[in-house]
Amino acid sequence: MRFLPSALLFTLALPLFGQSVPRREEDPIPAKVENIYTRGLRYLSQSQNTEGAWDDSQGKEPGVVGLCIMAFLAHGEDPNHGPYAENIQKGISFILEQQSKTNGYIGTSMYSHGFATLALAESYGMFRDNRIAPALKQAVDLILSSQKRNSRGAWRYSPESTDADSTVSGCQIVALYAARNAGIPVPEEAFTKGLKYMAKCRGGDGGYGYTSGMGDKPTLTAIGLLTQALAKQHDTRSFKASTKYLSKKLNYREKYYPYYFEYYMSQALFHADEKSWNDWNAKNIAYMSVLQGPDGSFPGNKGKAFSTSGALLSLALNYRFLPIYEK
């Protein structure tokens, strides 16, 4: 059941900066995508535990729970009255319960914190839960305070880290953009410093490395290009170089971090180049249709909750419901 227009009325009773789900009115959804997606959501719904998390190797990480929540919302599911409302509500409650009351930290790594913060930002305004706004603000403050302590103006695994890398930093930058889109104040300086660090990880051909412009990889480049897209840098030479780099990697698949690549690649190309995204999307639909198991889940070395949510979110641009997908 898709999020109905009448549900937008709830935003009138929400805090000032709430947001509503943008409706997708354009092209019809490919039947194969809808089949994959509905089967995947059914698996996530049925395998969620009573606490709101998932009982696999990574399924109790708040960041993974956040990805699962976004998989539901990205399909346009109503978090208040739809068939998956209880799943979404339990997931949000799990994230909120994992947040430190002292400093707003969610989970045990900045990866987890970043994805959990992104989920709160995307949920804010769609969901009648007065706990979300203050929790999101506190989560954003943690990201900002961590950046201020970091001599490189970016982030790594811990809030106290003094070094940085492009994966953790990209995750925080995306979360900050989502939070700002939801109305949470984020100083422009935070984006400037974060993007400056990401630029140091970009090589001359547009490819991004882990901690420098050396050793570029498609996954890292997809993360970097997405941050550039959200920063509206489409007309820059570096953006065009990174887009060209990724447009040549449409047949690439990540061996060690499956679905992490697809999650970012879909978003980066969607924001960067329509033709490349269309070509990639067709390939990705075919790829995911083969990988999906009989129970609707996806296999992977990080647990089925992560694999399934990551796979679904790589297809979610076909629906374009999440606010972060707006160009």
Q: In degrees, to the nearest 5, what angle opens at C-alpha 299 toward C-alphas 92 and 1?
A: 45
Please report whether residue 255 resides in a domain: yes
- Please list, residue by residue across 263-279, b when 16 or more beta carbons sit within 10 angstroms of its beta carbon and e when fewer do: bbbbbbbbbbbeebbee
Q: Which residue has the tokens 């419901």?
A: 321
Kindly state whether residue 7 falls inside one of the protein's structural domains: no
Nearest of 23, 59, 51 to residue 309 by alpha carbon: 59
Q: Flag whether pLDDT at 272 surpasses 60.
A: yes
Q: Which residue has the tokens 């790589």?
A: 314
Is 14 within a domain?
Answer: no
Q: Domain tally for the chain?
A: 1
Torsion on CA atoms 22, 27, 32, 36, rounded to nearest 10: 0
15 occurs within a structural domain = no
Position 6 in a domain: no
What is the Cα–Cα distance from 78 to 71, expressed in whole angstroms?
Answer: 12
Q: Cα separation of 129 and 322, whole Å?
A: 18
Residue 76 lies in a domain: yes
User: Which residue type is seen at 118?
Assistant: L
Percent helix, strand, coil in the chain, to 5, is 55, 5, 40
Rama region for 304: left / alpha / beta (φ>0; ψ in -120 to 50; rest): alpha
* CATH code of the domain containing 308: 1.50.10.20
Q: Where are the extended beta strands (E) located within the chain?
A: none
Decide if 119 is inside a domain. Answer: yes
Q: Which domain holds residue 92?
A: 27-325
Residue 12 has pLDDT above 50, yes or no: no
Evaluate whether residue 221 is within a structural domain: yes
The rounded distance, in Å, linking the Cα atoms of 270 and 224 is 14
Q: What is the pLDDT of residues 92-133, one digit of tens each?
A: 999 999 999 999 999 999 999 999 999 999 999 787 789 999
Q: Is 90 exceeded by the pLDDT of residue 193?
A: yes
Q: What is the pLDDT of residue 26?
A: 60
Q: What is the pLDDT of residues 163-188, one digit of tens each?
A: 999 999 999 999 999 999 999 999 99
Residue 293 has pLDDT above 90, yes or no: yes
